[in-house]
């Protein structure tokens, strides 16, 4: 079987088995491509919940001898499906070790030129027994039951990718499940998607700290029905202590949805409502107008964008999302020019596929000027990126014409605020301006965009 034919078969299997959210697998692949860039040693990778094994086969096909891929799946029928996929794509399978959970071994092809190792066992067990440089956890539902084992043996300066699909708990629909799994509380709000991502990161930070490890968030993406975060591992108690101190509750106003991060102190606050920039508490007869959410946690994207550009097999949708995420991470003061990424054949934008059947999508334009500036100067300010965003669709005021998102960003830049669009919501703007400043600015400029 020729390489061209095997690659086409691999693409066919991918399109049929991961049609629900193929962009999630593309993000993982791009993260691995960026992580392997410049690596001197072979990178050991684990796809802990392989399903049909397509993720691991993609890694091997794109990176070859740079990686040693291990795919794990507990279900016997799924393991057989993985072997079938390997055979169809001309990928040989390593001689299988004794399964880590003690079940009967599944016969595999014996070959000295084996390229992919297939393991049938429990993900927690294999992560406790062996070390890896790159781990992807994509279980059904929450990932919190597996992060302790992942942090236990992952190499220093390794990468852990978490793909969580329990959005019902993270979005505040099942408060008891959120408290049980994440020791946190969430509620419905404009910025609940980012709250969910930060709660997931906070749970991972606490799990890493128990293993004397700290983490650095490489990227966060929330699309369709999943939340995915990539974490870079730093070994040492000092890194762990630094990360844990960043995990704090957020005070959320139920009236206007303003927010404030609680201070890092163990002393009780005399009046917690004073932290909020709004006066809703006083205007409502000092009633309980706020909630405590969380706790939650507050250069890699450039490499991912470059890798996605080099590998033409990856979708335009991925490149569009990465472009928006790079601008969002920068969230600068400037007024960069935008370039439309409309597909000349269909007239649609790559991000129009973000929500199947949706009339709107985010990221229909990518700020190429900002992307180029970030790549050339190495500038990255995501450590000071403003937390959360405002949904403009819900901020309509009587007598004020609401501008489009890109015009709102330009107005905020004109007033001296940091601002950018966000991939979380198509009608939202991330900015360091508070809600009262945003309203004042809209009233000031409402006649300029009618």
What pLDDT sits at residue 446?
Answer: 61
Query: Does the pLDDT at position 156 exceed 60?
Result: yes
What pLDDT sits at residue 223?
Answer: 82
Residue range(s) occupied by CATH 3.40.50.150 in the chain: 3-245
Architecture label for domain 3-245: 3-Layer(aba) Sandwich (3.40)
pLDDT tens profile 23-81? 888 899 999 999 998 788 999 999 999 888 889 998 998 888 899 999 999 988 988 89
Residue of 372 and 405 predicted with greater confidence: 405
What pLDDT sits at residue 337?
Answer: 35
Architecture label for domain 315-450: 2-Layer Sandwich (3.30)
- How far apart are alpha carbons 412 and 409 in whole angstroms? 5
Note the residue count of the chain: 450
Residue range(s) occupied by CATH 3.30.56.70 in the chain: 315-450
For the CA atoms of the chain, what is the radius of gyration?
23
Q: What percent of the chain has pLDDT over 90?
A: 23
What pLDDT sits at residue 289?
Answer: 63
Tell me the pLDDT of the chain averaged across its residues.
75
Query: Does the pLDDT at position 303 exceed 70?
Result: no
- pLDDT category at 122 given cuts 50, 70, 90 is very high
What pLDDT sits at residue 398?
Answer: 66
For the CA atoms of 181, 187, 188, 189, what is the dihedral angle to 10 degrees? -120
pTM above 0.75, yes or no: no
pLDDT tens profile 98-120? 544 545 444 444 433 447 999 99
- Count Cβ neighbours within 10 Å for each residue of 417-442 and write b for 16 or more, e otherwise: bbbbbbbbbbbbbbbbbbbeebeebb
Alpha helices of 50-146 — where are they, by DSSP H?
A: 54-63, 76-88, 123-129
- How far apart are alpha carbons 383 and 208 in whole angstroms? 20
Residue of 432 and 150 predicted with greater confidence: 150
């Amino acid at each position: 079987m020729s390489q061209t034919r095997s690659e086409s078969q691999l693409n066919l299997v991918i399109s049929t088995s991961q049609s629900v959210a193929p962009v999630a697998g593309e993000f993982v692949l791009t993260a691995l491509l960026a992580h392997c860039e410049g690596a001197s040693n072979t990178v050991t990778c684990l796809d802990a919940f392989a399903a049909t094994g397509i993720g691991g086969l993609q890694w091997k096909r794109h990176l070859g001898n740079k990686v040693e891929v291990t795919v794990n799946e507990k279900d016997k029928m799924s393991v057989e499906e993985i072997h079938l996929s390997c055979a169809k794509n001309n990928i040989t399978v390593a001689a299988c070790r004794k399964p880590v959970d003690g079940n009967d071994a599944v016969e595999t092809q014996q070959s000295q030129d084996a390229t992919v190792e297939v393991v049938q066992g429990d993900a927690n067990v294999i992560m406790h027994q062996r070390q890896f440089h790159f781990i992807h956890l994509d279980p059904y539902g929450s990932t919190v039951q597996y992060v302790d084992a992942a942090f236990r043996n992952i190499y220093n300066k390794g990468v852990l990718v978490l793909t969580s699909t329990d959005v019902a708990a993270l979005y505040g629909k099942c408060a008891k499940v959120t408290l049980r799994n994440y020791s946190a509380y969430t509620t419905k709000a404009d910025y609940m998607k980012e709250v969910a991502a930060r709660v997931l990161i906070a749970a991972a930070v606490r799990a890493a700290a128990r293993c004397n490890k700290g983490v650095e968030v490489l990227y966060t993406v929330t699309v369709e029905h999943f939340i995915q975060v990539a974490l870079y591992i730093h070994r040492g108690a000092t890194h762990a202590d630094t990360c844990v101190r960043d995990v704090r509750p957020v005070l959320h106003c139920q009236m206007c949805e303003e927010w404030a991060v609680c201070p890092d102190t163990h002393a009780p606050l005399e009046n917690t409502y004073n932290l909020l920039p709004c006066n809703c508490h006083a205007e409502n007869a000092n009633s309980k107008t706020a909630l405590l959410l969380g706790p939650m946690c507050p250069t890699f994207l450039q490499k991912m964008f470059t890798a996605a550009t080099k590998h033409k097999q990856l979708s335009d949708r991925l490149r569009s999302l990465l472009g928006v995420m790079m601008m969002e991470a920068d969230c600068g003061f400037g007024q960069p020019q935008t370039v439309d990424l409309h597909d000349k054949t269909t007239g649609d934008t790559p991000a129009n596929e973000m929500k199947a059947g949706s009339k709107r999508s985010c990221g229909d334009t990518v700020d190429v000027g900002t992307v180029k500036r970030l790549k050339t100067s190495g500038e990255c300010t995501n450590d000071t990126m403003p937390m959360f965003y405002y949904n403009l669709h819900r901020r309509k005021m009587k007598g004020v014409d609401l501008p489009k998102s890109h015009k709102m960003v330009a107005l905020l830049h004109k007033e001296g605020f940091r601002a950018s669009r966000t991939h979380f919501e198509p009608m939202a703007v991330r900015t360091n301006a508070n809600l009262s400043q945003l309203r004042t600015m809209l009233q000031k400029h409402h006649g300029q965009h009618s």
